[in-house]
Structure 1
Amino acid sequence: MPYYAEDYDLYLTATQSFCHKCNNLHRLIDTHIVTKNNEVFLRKFCPKCGETMVKISTDYEYYKRCNDYLKKPDLPEKHLTKVLKGCPFDCGVCPQHQNHACLALFNITDECNMKCNICYYAAEPGLGNHRSMETIEQMLATLLETESEPDLIQVTGGEPTTHPEIVEILRYLKKSPVRHLMLNTNGIKIAKDEEFVKALKSLGGGFEVYLQFDSLNSDVLKDLRARDMLDIRLSALAMLEKYNISTTLVTVVKKGINDHEIPEVIKFSRKYRCVRGVVFQPVQEAGRINARDDFRLTLSEIRQRIIEDEDNPFNDEDMIPLPCDPHKISVGYAAKMMDEKLYANLMPVTGKLPKELLTDQKGTITFEQDREFVKTVVETVSLDTAMGEGILKDKIKQKLFCCWPNFLCPADMGYENVYRIVIMEFSDIVNFDSINIKRECNFMIEPNRTIPFSTYNMGIEFSHGKKNAAS
């Protein structure tokens, strides 16, 4: 008779990963995705290290829902590399990849004015290597080969505001066909240089600051950033609020350090009219990680903290899987209105949308032209909502809210009326899954290649040449 153990895991599917014990990024190993006690694991089989288990979700029901949300791929317009060794060794982007660049990251410098204990790029003072304008022009040309109308470009580094031509770079990229431009920053220059903030304001609509904001606790900031950044962050926010520059707060979450602050950061963000929402990113094992013990969290753990928070209106149905990369990104959108006490009232809308409206759409660019589809969405969201009549109208603005679909862009609802919570989990050597990595929609842009963000930061040697910074 076959042996049956009630406490054994349930096999879901097979994939490939890397062994994080021997730290070998040259060889993929067989891996099963299994579930046990309502949690989901990668069960890895390494010939050298044996079997290991990595938890990738604490919520099997939500994991299954992610599979239900998976949509047909929005492919790049052109592939720049061939399949030689197979995923992930052919990144550049190769024909196996199942997503276009929803978010294109332009790394314009290795220099930084901080040396954080946690940094996916391992940036620090003295690294230099400011990219020339000619190199940035080549990077844009490469992106436009694969994406003629990019959804979102994010200028990053290092710390991009240390680049002597940062304003010129932003203005150059703003004039491109990109729909939304972001600046990823620690906020130091914004806090101290009002003329720089005025220059950012002059970029106009479709520009946003992606502001590092991990905690409201000085000790936590010292643990994550190696210095107390609270006054800098508050000063930067005051500047951005003064000039009403669209801002997203970005919180890197480390288990046992600041995961308990997730509700507090959301509540704090609602005090600012300029803040369009919060992005939570669990720490990934890439770059510089000065951390011990069990510091990892899964997307599902962060999501649970959000939906259990009684002070914010986002519940289980409002934090949905993003259809293009459902296991790695969860998103909730709300209409936002500031009350007389200058505190944001939020009306979540994503939970009111039938799943098929999201999974059947053909992609951002095509979708914007589908007026009947948009009309259906607006009518769906408008039904029985206290704020609906005041915000949602019939006409549709042709304006993209970051890299998400245009269904949240009705006329008479400006960007100041949008609030979003995003959980974005990246892949590293521990949780790498060759099935899921093909769906990654965040790309690092180099002069001749576009490389998925996770594989770029993992330091994988690609068949078309090693990962290397542009010069």
Structure 2
Amino acid sequence: MNETVRIVAQMDEKKGVVYVGKRIINIGGPVPSLRDNERLIRYTSSLCPHCFRILPAVIVERENKLYIRRICPEHGEIEEVYFGDSELFRRFEKFYFDGNGPGYVYTAATAPCPLNCGLCPLHKTHTALLNIVVTNRCDLSCWYCFYFAERAGYVYEPSIDDIVNMVEALRKQPNIVLTVQLTGGEPTLREDLVDIVRKLRELGVRHIQLNTHGIKFVQLYFEDVSKAIEYAKELRRAGVNTVYLSFDGVSPETNPKNHWEVPFILEVFRKAEMTSVVFVPTVIRTVNDHELGAILKIAANNMDVVRGVNFQPVSLVGMMRKQDRNRYRITIPEVIKLIEDQTNGEIDKDSWFPVPAEVPIARFLELLEPSKRAEFTTHPVCGAATYVYVKRDGKEIHFLPITRFIDAYGLLSYLESKYESLVNKPKALGKLLAATSILQIINKFVLWDKVPEDLKRDLRSILFDIFMKRDYSSLGRFHYKFLFIGMMHFMDEWNYDVERVMRCAIHYALPDGRIVPFCAFNIINDIYRDTPQKTYGIPLDEYLKKYGEKYLENKKYVRNKELIEKMTRSEIYRQFYSITNKQL
């Protein structure tokens, strides 16, 4: 690999520009004024999606939606939908917490956010999940994806030594739980993937996620079932805890990526005892937003291996026309409303909490176990989540959100107040460790008369262990009893909010030791993703000369008519999709 290359931003206040390497980014512009029918939510900073000038911006409420607006001196006024429901926003913004930051300064704040990410002293949240890109190669070419080797013009694959250095950089943040997601490109194209996972576990990484479309498992399945199962077992033994499996819809039209393959992927995982899979659908308006309820049904019908569904409203990159953005753009409140409609009101708007709602629980547990820090002090509009208990009535599936039998607001308020009163009184903590105190908390906020009978005993034991043992296995028992449903809405050029970037908890590791927030890495990509990876990568033509075309063009996955027929005739396929009552 090349020597470390850092692109350091420097601000020239007299010229009103920031120099980032050889690139000049202007700063400043007029502050947008309010209109008669608008209510100001707050001021922030944003970017011009055309020239990336840093601009003052306003977030305003108008006609029950939130918008972000700024004015570029060169490109005029730019406005975009920010959050699709004002009422839900007011409920979510109650969980607005300032984090304590990473606890380690990686880069100096020599330029305005987000032009000197790495992390700098302005960042407010520690790394809750570190993404490590193990390759930018992919054997698919999805129309909405902007990130694979052929388009980039180079191949980026950090060595295991580089990955070790990335984890060592993460370890500089004190008292955090080391959590890593291996992503790409498509990670399973790395022939040494098992070795990478094993090395992460040796380095003390507590939780390892694999982000994949899963097609390699199917290729092995139809070559030799035992090979597919053994590969999954090797990954599990090496240390993979969770598989983040792309799954965009239940029909070939909505999910041409891996519609036919997913039933066989889960069959492999089932036989390999890889029992923690999370479906990750990219939600695009007019494309697959009508199948959200069906995705949840399939997840619920496969809870022996599927632990959750994490919807991702699409991030719209590039210079997309406004009419196209309006067509495809979908925000968290709209996804929530569609899920409510498509589950016949079972998972309603009141079932959802923003991601930082976990902060009171995390801080309370941190009082009891100071060596474990896991705060998601993200911005309240970054994501939402709930847990549901799945009930079966014959072939019918019903969802019972956990908020129906736990007073979530009461519990979170109680834990927050306890934290505030005890944070500086360590001697008083002993009383909280008593089993009787924990049982009192559980009995106070669990509505036992509304808990399903078959859940009561397990729920009491699970909650008790979470507070008393505060270990990974206790949380695991909870996740095996409930279906997690979440969503994370990553920003794009059009709805960029610098304050959200400062609170990001999902970060990327760079080979030069920096750690960069997700929405800086992927949006200001020529600075944080493309330039470092090109520096540490190999030009495409050189890679082809060295390894041959089989690693790229000829490695593209081809699903011919014969293979499709073979899969669709299988009972595994038919049983998997039967729950959606679709004509197959």
TM-score range, shorter chain: 0.7 to 0.9
**Aligned-partner residue type, residue 416 of structure 1:** Y
2:331 is the counterpart of 1:298: yes
In the alignment, what sits opposite 2:60?
34
Higher share of residues assigned helix: 2
Which of 223, 236, 244 pairs up with 2:265? 236
| Moved segments of 4+, more than 4 Å | 123-127, 287-293, 335-347, 357-363, 368-377, 460-467
- Equivalent residue, structure 2, for 1:47: 73
Conservation of the 8 A alpha-carbon contact between 2:181 and 2:209: yes
Tell me the distance in 2 between the aligned counterparts of 1:334 and 1:159: 31
Residue 516 of structure 2 corresponds to residue 451 of structure 1: yes
Number of the residue aligned with 1:167: 194
Seen in structure 2, the aligned counterparts of structure 1 residues 182 and 92 have a Cα distance that, compared at 3 Å, is same
Moved more, 112-121 or 265-274: 112-121
The residue correspondences of 1:3-18 to structure 2 (distance < 5 A) are: 8-18=37-47
Contact 2:386/2:486 (CA < 8 Å) preserved in 1? yes
Counterpart for residue 404 of structure 1: none
> If you compute each CA radius of gyration, which structure gives the higher value, 1 or 2?
2
Equivalent positions of 1:179-218 (< 5 A) are 179-193=206-220, 194=228, 195-203=230-238, 207-218=241-252
Q: 2:109 is matched with which residue?
A: 83
1:353 aligns with one of 399, 403, 408: 408
Closer, same or farther: CA 29–174 of 1 in aligned 2, 3 Å: same
SS where residue 446 of structure 2 aligns? helix
Q: Which residue of 1 aligns with 2:465?
A: 395
Secondary structure of 1:265 counterpart: helix
For residue 332 of structure 2, what is the amino acid of its counterpart? L
Q: 1:348 to 1:181 in 2, by over 3 A?
A: same
State the AA in 2 paired with 1:424. Answer: M
Cα displacement (A) at 1:198: 1.8
Q: Provide the rounded CA distance (Å) in 2 between the counterparts of 1:428 and 1:339.
A: 42
- Paired residue for 2:24? none
Post-superposition offset of 1:415: 3.7
Find the partner of 1:266 among 284, 290, 296. Answer: 296
In structure 2, the partner of 1:317 is 350
| Conserved? CA contact 1:427–1:437, under 8 Å | no
CA distance in 1, matches of 2:527, 2:138: 27
- Relative to 1, partners in 2 of residues 1:8 and 1:338: Cα closer, same or farther, differing over 3 Å? closer
Deviation by residue 1:98-149 (Cα, 9 ceiling, x = unmatched): 1111111011111111111122534559953322111111111111112554
| TM-score for the superposition, normalised by structure 2 | 0.69
User: Contact 2:44/2:58 (CA < 8 Å) preserved in 1?
Assistant: yes
Q: Which runs of 5+ in 1 are unaligned?
A: 402-407
* Counterpart for residue 277 of structure 1: 308
What percent identity do the matched residue pairs reach?
26
CA distance in 2 between counterparts of 1:266 and 1:464 reads 33
Q: Secondary structure at the match of 1:64?
A: helix
1:142 equivalent among 155, 169, 180: 169
Alpha-carbon separation, structure 2, partners of 1:288 and 1:19: 11
Report whether the alignment pairs 1:70 with 2:96.
yes
CA distance in 2, matches of 1:279, 1:464: 24
C-alpha contact (below 8 Å) 1:270/1:344 kept by paired residues:
no
Q: Mean Cα displacement is larger for which, 71-80 or 209-218?
A: 71-80
Describe the shift of the 1:440–1:283 C-alpha distance in structure 2 as closer, same or farther (beyond 3 A).
same
| CA deviation after TM superposition for structure 1 residue 192, in Å | 3.0
Shift of 1:377: 5.7
Aligned partners of 2:127 and 2:507 also within 8 Å: yes
Match of 2:128 in 1: 102
Deviation at 1:211, TM superposition (A): 0.2
Of 328-337 and 307-316, deviating more is 307-316
How far apart, CA to CA, are the structure 2 residues paired with 1:292 and 1:174? 44
Query: Shift in Å at residue 60 of structure 1?
Result: 0.3
**SS of 1:317 mapped into structure 2:** helix
Residue of structure 1 in register with 2:386 after alignment: 332
Instruction: Go from structure 1 to structure 2 and tell me whether the alpha carbon gap of 1:444 and 1:51 turns closer, same or farther (over 3 Å shift).
Output: same
- Displacement after TM superposition at 1:443 (Å): 0.2
SS of 2:94 mapped into structure 1: helix
Structure 2 letter corresponding to 1:18: L
- Count of aligned pairs between the two proteins: 447
Instruction: Assess, with a 3 A threshold, how the Cα gap between structure 1 residues 148 and 157 changes in structure 2: closer, same or farther.
Output: farther
Separation in structure 2 between the aligned mates of residue 361 and residue 132 of structure 1, nearest angstrom: 46
Change (3 A) 1:201 1:468: closer
Q: Distance in 1 between matches of 2:129 and 2:402?
A: 24
The one-letter amino acid of 1:446's match is L
Residue 152 of structure 2 is aligned to residue 118 of structure 1? no
- The match for 1:93 is 119
C-alpha distance after superposition, 1:36-64 (max 9, x if no partner): 11111012211122223211112101111
Q: Cα RMSD over matched residues?
A: 3.4
- Give the deviation of 1:464 after TM superposition: 13
d(CA) in 2 for partners of 1:425, 1:11: 22
Code of the aligned partner of 2:65: E
Post-superposition offset of 1:362: 7.0
1:89, 1:463 within 8 Å by CA — same for their partners in 2? Answer: no
1:435 and 2:528 aligned: no
Unmatched 5+ residue regions in structure 2?
1-33, 221-227, 357-376, 424-428, 538-584
Aligned to 1:168, what secondary structure does the other structure show?
A: helix
Give the TM-score normalised by structure 1: 0.85
1:154 aligns to 2:181 (yes or no): yes
Report deviation, 1:375: 5.3
Partners of 1:111 and 1:123 within 8 A in 2: yes
Residue pair 1:90, 1:463 contacting (<8 A) in 2 also: no
2:203 aligned to which of 176, 191, 197: 176
1:72 Cα deviation after fit: 2.9
Amino acid at match of 1:250: V
For structure 1, which segment, 165-174 or 289-298, has the greater mean C-alpha deviation from structure 2 after superposition? 289-298
Name the SS for the 1:221 alignment partner: coil
CA contact 2:516–2:528 (8 Å) conserved in 1: no
Change in 2 beyond 3 A, CA 1:232/1:49:
same
Query: Which amino acid is the alignment partner of residue 261 of structure 1?
Result: E
SS of corresponding position for 2:254: helix
- Could you tell me how far apart the structure 2 residues matched to 1:62 and 1:329 are? 12
Q: Which residue identity does 1:281 align to in structure 2? A: Q
1:34-93 superposed Cα distances (whole Å, 9 cap, x missing partner): 111111101221112222321111210111122211123142121100101121011000
Within 2, Cα distance between the matches of 1:107 and 1:171?
16
CA distance change for structure 1 residues 310 and 414 in 2, over 3 Å: closer, same or farther? closer
Comparing both structures, which one devotes a greater share of its residues to strand? 1
* The 10-residue stretch of structure 1 (159-168 or 40-49) with the greater mean CA deviation from structure 2: 40-49
